[in-house]
Amino acid sequence: MKWFFILSVIAWTGKPVRSSCPFEMSPARVVVRFGDPISVNCSSELDRIESMGWESVVGGTGTQFNVSSVVLEVESVKSWELRPICFINPVVGDQCSQTLSVTVYNLPESVSISQPSEMGPMVEGKQYRMQCDIVNVKPLRNLTVHWHKGNKIIATDTFDQSSPSFPVNTSSFYDLTAQRGDNGTEIWCDAKLDFLPDLHTIHSKSREVIVLYSPAFTKPENETLELSARSEIILNCTAEGNPTPVYSWHLPHAIQQNNQNENQPVLTPSPQLPGTYNCTASNSQGTQTKYFTVIEATRNYTTLAALLGVGLSLGAVLFVGLLFLLTPEGSFYCSKGSYMPGRPTSSGPV
């Protein structure tokens, strides 16, 4: 046993006694979950082997003679650190050995998301530190944590500190600056060991983000509207905010006050009169005001004239076209020259 110990020490110092032994390990390296079995065949094509064996805390074979392969068999790996060594004593020459690379891993027992200040609604523009806790994971350096928001990965965290030889608890942090667009989205984290397929990824529960934000008008510009005989003017003050904004209107004429439901985002003044109207949309996060300038239609006949103009132009075009057809020998210049002066235009009253 002492002999094996010395052998191990030599292996650890990285100075193989002899480098010429052709070792064959199958599998070449082992990644095993704590508690699972392993079976590794160490063989050699060396011609003359006196003896060989596995030296290991568990599953060691002792020295075996007249063999060209030895199998390390562990029913259940119950150790976090395992360094089995396969050794060969050739008939001629020095002993040689090779250490098997074994990674004993533990999937996170739990992955959970938390926020230090008990997760109430967030406020737009403020920053919140979210925390993802991963319990009992090994090896830490192979852990990857992803942060998800909606269907996007917003951050990836790795832990490259020298891995302890036992499972540990760790946390990943994400600083979220609350934005109005985040309201209603889900945030969660997941943890995985990079050498395992995605199937073994462990997800936290998701958190719904609620963001409080001040009202913003759907149409933010002030508006100027012209009174018209044919249609009513509609003042649209719709705003989006969380909580839902409340509205209040300031109307220029006392007579209009009684006729309105003041808390509506959209208002149709009655009677329809010129003046400056304004509305405010407000909630706990702020107040916004929008102005509407309603003016008299200055030239009531413009529309009519425009219509008339369009009609006349169409008529003229048809007329010219007809003439062109009817006088096949007449040149284009001729007909155009003759009738152009009479052509009315659509630009205003003639």
Ligand X SMILES: *[C@@H]1O[C@H](CO)[C@@H](O)[C@H](O)[C@H]1NC(C)=O
How far is 8 from 98, CA to CA, in rounded Å? 10
Q: What tokens were used for 243?
A: 């909580």
Which residue is nearest to ligand X, using beta carbons? 184
How far is 317 from 332, CA to CA, in rounded Å? 14
Which of 202, 170, 208 minimizes the C-alpha distance to 189?
202
In the bound state with ligand X, the residue whose beta carbon lies nearer, of 106 and 183, is: 183
CB of 108 to ligand X, least distance (A): 10
Question: Which residues of this protein are in contact with ligand X, per CB under 6 A?
Answer: 31, 41, 43, 69, 71, 103, 135-136, 141-142, 168-169, 183-184, 195, 210, 220-222, 240, 242, 291
Specify the 3-state DSSP secondary structure of 277: strand
CB of 346 to ligand X, least distance (A): 33
In the bound state with ligand X, the residue whose beta carbon lies nearer, of 11 and 279, is: 279
Nearby residues of 300 by Cβ (< 8 Å), 6 or more positions away? 229
Q: How far is CA 156 from CA 115, 132, 190, 221, in A?
A: 18, 12, 10, 41
Nearby residues of 82 by Cβ (< 8 Å), 6 or more positions away? 56, 57, 58, 102, 104
How far is 85 from 73, CA to CA, in rounded Å? 13
| Pair type for strands 286-295 and 223-226 | parallel
CB of 95 to ligand X, least distance (A): 20
CB of 203 to ligand X, least distance (A): 18
Amino acid at 161: Q
Dihedral angle sign, alpha carbons of residues 313, 316, 322, 323: negative
CB of 105 to ligand X, least distance (A): 8
In the bound state with ligand X, the residue whose beta carbon lies nearer, of 288 and 335, is: 288
| Structure-derived torsion over alpha carbons of residues 278, 242, 146, 164, reported in degrees to the nearest 10 | 120
Amino acid at 286: G
Q: Which residues pair with 247 in a beta bridge?
A: 281
CB of 92 to ligand X, least distance (A): 22
DSSP character at residue 106: B
Nearby residues of 96 by Cβ (< 8 Å), 6 or more positions away? 16, 17, 18, 19, 20, 21, 23, 87, 88, 90
CB of 67 to ligand X, least distance (A): 10
CB of 41 to ligand X, least distance (A): 4
How far is 234 from 267, CA to CA, in rounded Å? 6
In the bound state with ligand X, the residue whose beta carbon lies nearer, of 136 and 346, is: 136
CB of 66 to ligand X, least distance (A): 14
In the bound state with ligand X, the residue whose beta carbon lies nearer, of 132 and 335, is: 132
